[in-house]
């Protein structure tokens, strides 16, 4: 699969529903997370590689918007686009659309975050290979340059 135009497909399960019998809000966040992590794994960055290098992703913000109901047994596809990043790669923003097989976009999820050193708990620029990989994702129409998250000092 082309890493610039990444998509992952899911079938809605019973556990994904709320009392109104449509997909619960937190399930959309789970689908989005699974898609981002699957993209990283598919591009050669499983969690073990992050552990080996002592850093990992951290979310600063997550925003979900809901447009259409999605019901049990439906098939959805979750896309992944880069909607912002800093020049040093320490700060990123991803936009994801949840598309129903029957047509319209059901929801969007946008997350903003960065990479932290797992020992110092401070923001870092990741491996150059990962900066290049993230930069290769397709960009949203409103892509924006973000400030670095790296702060000088102890």
CATH number of the domain where residue 63 is located? 3.10.129.10
Name the residue range of residue 61's domain: 6-138
C-alpha 9/C-alpha 11 separation (Å) is: 7
Model pTM above 0.85 = yes
Low-confidence ranges of the chain (pLDDT < 50): none
- Whether 109 is covered by a domain: the verdict is yes
Return the pLDDT at 5: 87
pLDDT tens digits along 56-82: 999 999 999 999 999 999 999 999 999
Q: Domain tally for the chain?
A: 1
DSSP string over 61-128: EEEEEE-S--BTT-EEEEEEEEEEE-TTSSEEEEEEEEEETTSSEEEEEEEEEEEEETTT--EE---H
């Amino acid at each position: 699969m082309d890493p610039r135009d990444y998509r992952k497909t899911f079938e809605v399960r019973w556990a994904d529903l709320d009392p109104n019998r449509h997909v619960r809000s937190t399930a959309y966040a789970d689908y989005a997370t699974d898609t981002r992590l699957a993209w990283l794994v598919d591009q050669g960055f499983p969690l073990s590689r992050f552990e080996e290098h002592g850093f990992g992703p951290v979310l600063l913000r997550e925003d979900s918007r809901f447009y259409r109901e999605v019901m049990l047994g439906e098939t959805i596809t979750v896309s992944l686009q880069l909607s912002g990043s800093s020049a040093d790669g320490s700060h990123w923003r991803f936009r994801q659309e949840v598309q129903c097989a029957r047509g319209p976009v059901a929801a969007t999820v946008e997350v903003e975050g960065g990479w932290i050193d797992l020992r110092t708990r401070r923001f870092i620029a990741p491996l150059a290979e990962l900066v290049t990989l993230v930069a290769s994702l397709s960009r949203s129409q409103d892509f924006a340059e973000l400030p670095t998250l790296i702060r000088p000092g102890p």
